[in-house]
Structure 1
């Protein structure tokens, strides 16, 4: 249990670190300076007479070329990345920015360019001050060639990446992948390793947040430790993604004996990480909301891109199909925190997040409304009663919206034919 919890916590922290654009260039710069001084160690070895004699002028020429070009390329890289980030925010949604900025290829490219620039400057200064002997100069020469080769390879890869970074299709793929990963993790531990919460109303002392923002993560093990120590039972009332306010309870606490009036509420509240925005990692519904926002923007009169909305409807079908896949024994988590009750995600809420905006904004666009009915028919045909119920509910709502928005009788008749599955005992897959 401890290993899995630490792994989840480490993964959450790594994702936050990846969103810091300055960190990798800083680390690469420090490494570059260290390599320059480590090359001096070659002079301490008895290899000076066995290595070729490299003239200092040739190394200085190479380093001067690298330093002059890397500064320009690094500046160009930053400008291109900023333009890509702006494009992602304007063409998709600002909520996708954290996924675009954490792109590994772009960050690695920028780090390589900055590191090569710093290496060339520091090595050039060291050479001009006679810091190296024969073996050290040879080591610097070899390292310089390796740096040059790495820069060329990185630049070629980065050019291919930057052509796609920030484009709408690439952003949708990143959001879908992040949402699928969050759904996959939650599917294995639907109650975050706590025990399932029943349908009874919350009881006990309410614990409120001292700050306003979104719940980004819940430290279930910290709640379990506190509950065991103080002989409590804790019912979580705010899952990741919930907007926490001083008047909205994060959890409810009951004591094994007596009451919990003397409990310090900060012991419970500090297990809830509150931030100014939602995160994809442990909030699967956020990914559905972001995809729905992208589709809604594509359906706006200013953009008029129904193809993007149709593609996102397909993404929703894949994501919900993933949600109802059988969970293997390796992926299934057990109820390890028996004193912490956690509610499961509501499938109806997830359907609302995904399909409500598309049904509203695409009601008057026959190709979007038709694709939505086909997608809901596909989801309703899956072997899951709750998903069938949610799909039929949204299909009826979407049909009602289309009946108000479509004026052509033939289009209305087509929509009604596609929605006939809501009246059947078990719908078949609508073709097309």
Structure 2
């Protein structure tokens, strides 16, 4: 029996919940209320008469201090976070704000402060109404002490984090980390664990049927296990045509459906129409791209930050140079991908071929590979264009591309060389000072 939800779908939903700022505070509020009423349990335990007696007035005093201070701190932390989001939107790019919202340190801090406020209010109210006996008061005192310790530790950690929240350097690091996670996931799931697509034009001539969506937006997730299950139940193969990050419209096919001739059954158009809704639901489409399953989106957001840094109003080539370093790390990591030359499998040894087969878990679904040329274009073109007149940026680009061109992955190496050629041409047209041109020539490695 198939799992009710795939691992990829679960990861996608978890990531979506992390972007909702209310989820953790609500969870902490529920836990805080539960903790207060847990103290009542101590009154009915046999050990209750052996517990120390705590003056209830002292506990109420502690709770009053917490109640009066936590709301102020929670309000302050929320205001600080909102200011950081606005700052990040202005100084880097609005596309990075979702990563700041999902930041665990900030969410945990806000949640802890709100949870401590709710705990203190509920505990103070119950204590003043004689809800607890001596044992309950003692346990409430212990819980209050624990909450105080958690609040202090959280505040210290949050102060260290809030100093960098919304800064360009911190935002670049968060975007790079998000892109790295997406690349790591794609490396472990080449073609999203689907198989190599056939010649689609030939399949269309043979009667493969396209499926479309009425929505307009970006593909955020393709649930390959769900598509595989649908194909198995309908004696068909599904040939996916879009990847996470692609922009889709009602006239663009999401996939083609090929009947399985080996079963002796042909899919009728009516059968497709009746069940295509299930298959279409495997494609999550939204107004914005998502970092979670889209490696290219992280590269694009970094490029936006770099392009803004190179604008005349900002004039910050240092940030662009830092982002070029991020690209070098990310694309070097991408060069370690499995199944690089999957279309030339005859050149691979049997051990590597067996490994590739293990990675293709969903044999009824074919998926196009992520295009490395598109990744290089997303990453380097905006910075090469806007920084062409800055010799320091052009030199750093050429150094990065030279390093990438020497990697053993032919796919990455070829694209690095092609990008270096275009970068050199752009800079040569923009630079006018002779010494800058000489420096550019010195660092151009394709001579």
* TM-score bin (small chain): over 0.9
Q: What is the match of residue 422 of structure 1?
A: 446
> What do residues 3-49 of structure 1 show as CA deviations (whole Å, max 9, x unaligned)?
8x833332221111111111111111111111111111111123343
Q: Larger helix proportion, structure 1 or 2?
A: 2
Rounded to whole Å, the distance in 2 between the matches of 1:287 and 1:275 is 17
How far is the alpha carbon of 1:384 from its aligned partner? Answer: 2.1
Distance 1:176 1:2, change over 3 A: farther
Supply the RMSD in Å over aligned alpha carbons. 2.1
Instruction: Identify the match of residue 285 of structure 1 among 285, 296, 299.
Output: 296
Q: Distance in 2 between matches of 1:177 and 1:12?
A: 17
Is 1:362 the equivalent of 2:366?
no
1:188–1:331 CA contact under 8 A, matched in 2: no
1:313 aligned residue: 324
> How many aligned residue pairs are there?
422
Q: Does 1:152 align with 2:176?
A: no
Alpha-carbon deviation of 1:177? 0.8
**How has the CA–CA distance of structure 1 residues 167 and 309 changed in structure 2, closer, same or farther, with 3 Å as cutoff?**
same
Unaligned runs of 5+ in 1: 424-432
5+ residue gaps, structure 2, are 340-351
Output one character per residue of 1:202-225: Cα deviation in whole Å (capped at 9) or x when no partner. 622221112111101111111111
Question: Post-superposition shift, 1:266?
Answer: 2.2
Matched, 1:352 2:377: yes
Contact 1:92/1:171 (<8 A) preserved? yes
Residue in 2 aligned with 1:250?
254
Aligned pairs for 1:36-185 within 5 A: 36-185=36-185
Distance 1:385 1:45 in 2: 70
Per the TM alignment, residue 52 of structure 1 is displaced from its structure 2 partner at its CA by: 2.2
* 1:227 has 2:231 as partner: yes
Cα deviation for residue 198 of structure 1 reads: 4.2
Q: Is the 8 A contact 1:218 1:271 kept in 2?
A: yes
Which whole-Å CA distance do the structure 2 matches of 1:245 and 1:392 have between them? Answer: 34
**C-alpha distance in structure 1 between counterparts of 2:102 and 2:136, whole Å:** 37
What secondary structure is seen at the aligned counterpart in 2 of 1:191? Answer: helix
Which SS does the other structure have where 2:127 is aligned? helix
Of 402, 421, 424, which aligns to 2:427? 402
CA-CA distance at 1:276 after TM superposition: 1.1
Structure-1 residue corresponding to 2:346 = none
Q: Give the whole-Å Cα distance in 2 for the aligned partners of 1:272 and 1:199.
A: 22
Determine the C-alpha separation between the residues in 1 that align with 2:48 and 2:225.
58
User: For residue 266 of structure 1, what is the aligned residue in structure 2?
Assistant: 277
- 2:359 alignment partner, SS class: coil
Structure 2 counterpart of 1:382, from 403, 407, 430? 407
1:300 aligned residue: 311
Q: What SS does the corresponding residue of 2:258 show, helix, strand or coil? A: strand
2:345 aligns with none
> Which consecutive segments of 4 or more residues in structure 1 shift more than 6 A?
328-332
Change (3 A) 1:122 1:331: farther
TM-score under structure 2 normalisation?
0.90
Contact 2:190-2:359 at 8 Å conserved across structures? no
In the TM superposition, residue 188 of structure 1 has moved relative to its aligned partner by 2.0
**Residue 341 (structure 1) aligned to one of 356, 359, 366:** 366
Aligned equivalents of 2:381 and 2:422: distance in 1? 9
Tell me the distance in 2 between the aligned counterparts of 1:386 and 1:33. Answer: 56
Q: How far apart are the structure 2 equivalents of 1:270 and 1:48?
A: 56
Post-superposition shift, 1:166?
1.2
- Once residues 155 and 428 of structure 2 are traced to their aligned partners in structure 1, the CA distance between those partners, rounded to angstroms, is 53
Partners of 1:303 and 1:198 lie apart in 2 by 48
Contact map agreement 2:187 2:337 (CA 8 A) in 1: no
| Equivalence for 1:429 | none
Query: What SS does structure 1 have at the residue aligned with 2:441?
Result: helix
2:205 matches 1:197: no
Is 2:14 the partner of 1:7? no
